[in-house]
Structure 1
């Protein structure tokens, strides 16, 4: 059985990283595309943090899926800035020249890095996390509650193991040894509902070094320590065809456990990727919730 991305031994992950560095006409680890927004940088010692800011108004700070780039949020950011919000796309370590403040960070270390940015803001923000980013968003809200006023979770797993076939597809999404067709099929099964188009930028931007770091960070902090996001109001959005984080293992559990803290939105025709699959529905659900969120 293939083990989870968040539980693979380091020597196996290292072999995939090495493969990603080998010359290949087809490279999932290539940069997917440029993120939108003005670049914010923080450098101190070996720490290199980077985020991309656009728009004006109440702020939403976004954290991407495991091993994925901040640019995954480009379309959502455009929707939200057009609706009167400011958006910050926070880049993960080992992407676009970034480096965490700790060599082997745990999840709360990554949350503290994000808080370096949040401390520059004049008011608390909403944090949004997609897939792995949902863990980080909740860790930020738990660790730095005074800087967060709400939490949005997309494809929010983190408690139950990923189903075996979906986990295999997740791991293969990072593997440059596959043919283009094999790679596309892995990305499709793991992330996209049947029949949905896969944008070309979702066939690139799979950064194994980042995913390895994030997996180790997740394993080093028990989920009950961040699961409730510090009690902050929570919008949870799930695609009903999500094979990696099925509704029964994710949104259903959060809604049942946290009650009125959670606003639950289920979208038919969407898988784990969500962002490129149903951009309009996603943006509408988020802006409706933001409009009702107390200042």
Structure 2
């Protein structure tokens, strides 16, 4: 049995928080999506153990990591991830990313192929702009900053059109003046806006084995785009999970773990 270890490491002038879920297995670097944090991967880490050791990073402006200088572009995020992998001596590593983290992951594979042994992208699209993606930005500018209870924070977020706030509440903490979220709303708006773009060159820019996981009920990544991504990139496997939305790893944890394990076995990665 392994014990998760939360720590911070100085990388590129930033204090980046991360969790080592422990074990002696093959390292897997996990990168969360917008509004997420490292601890959301606890279930996945347990399901992949003991063969795989999950190391999850709070990306800049998320969780307990520094926000940096306000640069949330892909250049900064990829440079952070590359420096983190090198600092910990993890490369070449299996790199897994969800949503924004998936985009960062395939950028990392394209720019630093020596650091990425295999790529797992969950719901991270090669094209993130209108009209292909009708709503590339979630407007959080009027979300509550403090509420007296965690239940009230959930109620107010869900009152703004979020059916289930559980994902966002992974970043909820109790402050001296009430409950609030760890991330800055202005930072999150900027981070989403700079992710709008055409990322096809970066998706096609690596050759390592890749798994693309898509939830067939996703409102974020169109099925047609997921299939096009798999068809256009050699050495890529697409797995579509029915009944799952954008957060496949949460909607069907067992199914997600199964497709990850199958992919790694077929790629010959123990």
Q: Shorter-chain-normalised TM-score: which range?
A: 0.7 to 0.9
Partner of 1:288: 262
Match among 116, 120, 124 for residue 156 of structure 1:
124
Partner of 1:236: 212
Q: 1:174 to 1:70 in 2, by over 3 A?
A: farther
Q: How far off is 1:77 after superposition?
A: 1.2
Match among 34, 42, 49 for residue 16 of structure 2:
49
Match among 214, 217, 232 for residue 257 of structure 1:
232
Partner of 1:30: none
Q: How far off is 1:169 after superposition?
A: 8.9
Match among 80, 87, 108 for residue 54 of structure 2:
87
Structure 2 length normalisation: TM-score? 0.78
Partner of 1:13: none
User: Equivalents in 1 of 2:244, 2:61: separation in Å?
Assistant: 29
Maintained 8 Å contact 2:129/2:198? no
Partner of 2:148: none
Q: If each structure's helix is expressed as a fraction of its own residues, which one has the higher value?
A: 1
Runs of at least 5 residues in structure 2 that lack an aligned partner in the other structure: 146-152, 172-180
Runs of at least 5 residues in structure 1 that lack an aligned partner in the other structure: 1-35, 189-197
User: Equivalents in 1 of 2:142, 2:264: separation in Å?
Assistant: 34
- Highest RCO, 1 vs 2 (Cα 8 Å, sep ≥ 6): 1
Range moving further from structure 2, 125-134 or 202-211: 202-211
Partner of 1:247: 223
Q: 1:56 to 1:243 in 2, by over 3 A?
A: same
State how many pairs are aligned: 247
Maintained 8 Å contact 2:92/2:116? yes
Q: How far off is 1:237 after superposition?
A: 0.6
Q: SS of 2:15's equivalent?
A: strand
User: Equivalents in 1 of 2:49, 2:157: separation in Å?
Assistant: 37
User: Equivalents in 2 of 1:72, 1:129: separation in Å?
Assistant: 12
Q: 1:74 to 1:45 in 2, by over 3 A?
A: closer
Matches within 5 A, 1:167-182: 167=135, 170-171=138-139, 175-176=143-144, 180=155
User: Equivalents in 2 of 1:115, 1:127: separation in Å?
Assistant: 11
Q: If each structure's strand is expressed as a fraction of its own residues, which one has the higher value?
A: 2
Partner of 1:218: 195
